[in-house]
Amino acid sequence: MDTSDPTKLNIKDQSPRLEIRVLRMPGPDFTTYRNREFEKQLPQEELLNAEDAGNGRAKRLRTSYSGPLTIRTVKDESIPARAMACRAYRGKFWSVTLRTDEEHNRPPAHGDYDTYVKVKLTENKRSRKVRGFLGYCPEGYGKYPVLPKTKSASSPDRHGKSAIYLNDLYPLCRELYSILLDPKVTPHPSGLIVITGATDSSKSIVTRGLIFLFLEAAAEKARATRKRRPHLVTFEDPIEQYYIRDPALKGAQQMPADNAANLEKLLEAIYIDYTPREKGEDADNLKRVTKDALRQTPAVLFVGETREKDDWRDLIEFAGSGHLVVTTSHANSVVEAMSGIFRETDTKTPAQRSDIARRILGIVNIRSYTTTDNIRALLPSVWKRTDQSVSDLIADGLASILPAAETKNQERGIGYYGRSYLAGKLTASKHISKKVKQAKGVDLKEIRKAIKSKALEWDLKGV
* 160 and 86 within one domain: no
Single out the residue in 31, 66, 99 at which a domain terminates: 99
Single out the residue in 45, 71, 99 at which a domain terminates: 99
Q: Tell me the C-alpha distance between 379 and 333, whole Å.
A: 11
Closest to 231 in 3D by CA, of 218, 249, 221, 242: 218
Note the pLDDT tens digit of each residue in 1-22.
444 444 443 434 444 468 888 8
Phi, psi of 375 (to 5 degrees): -100, 125
* 214 and 172 within one domain: yes
Q: Tell me the C-alpha distance between 446 and 216, whole Å.
A: 37
Residue 270 belongs to a domain: yes
pLDDT bin (cut points 50, 70, 90) of residue 141 is: very low
Note the pLDDT tens digit of each residue in 88-112.
999 999 999 998 887 766 667 777 8
Residue 1 belongs to a domain: no
* Residues in contact with 216: Cβ distance below 8 Å, sequence separation at least 6, in sequence order: 113, 136, 138, 139
* 160 and 37 within one domain: no
DSSP annotation string for 128-195: --GGG--S---TTS-S-SSS-HHHHHEEE-TTSPEEEESS-HHHHHHHHHHHHT-TTTSSS--EEEEE
* 449 and 341 within one domain: yes
Phi, psi of 446 (to 5 degrees): -70, -35
* 223 and 149 within one domain: yes
* 122 and 88 within one domain: no
* 180 and 326 within one domain: yes
The enclosing domain of 287 has a CATH number of 3.40.50.300
Residue 104 belongs to a domain: no
Note the pLDDT tens digit of each residue in 252-311.
557 788 889 888 888 888 889 999 999 999 999 999 999 999 999 999 999 999 989 999
Local structure of residue 104 (DSSP, 8 states): P
The enclosing domain of 12 has a CATH number of 3.30.450
* Residues in contact with 43: Cβ distance below 8 Å, sequence separation at least 6, in sequence order: 9, 15, 16, 18, 65, 67
364 and 380 in contact (C-beta within 8 Å)?
A: yes
Residue 108 belongs to a domain: no
Q: How many helices (H) and strands (E) does the chain have?
A: 16, 16
* 89 and 124 within one domain: no
Indicate the SS3 state at residue 408. helix
Closest to 79 in 3D by CA, of 101, 104, 106, 46: 101
* 352 and 455 within one domain: yes
Beta strands at 7-10 and 17-21: parallel, antiparallel or unpaired? antiparallel
pTM over 0.75: yes
Domain that holds residue 81: 7-99
Note the pLDDT tens digit of each residue in 386-434.
999 999 999 999 988 876 544 444 555 788 999 999 999 999 999 898 8
Beta strands at 93-99 and 154-156: parallel, antiparallel or unpaired? unpaired
* 282 and 137 within one domain: yes
Single out the residue in 47, 67, 99 at which a domain terminates: 99
* 159 and 52 within one domain: no
* 121 and 90 within one domain: no
* Residues in contact with 143: Cβ distance below 8 Å, sequence separation at least 6, in sequence order: 149, 168, 170
Residue 45 belongs to a domain: yes
Domain count, the chain: 2
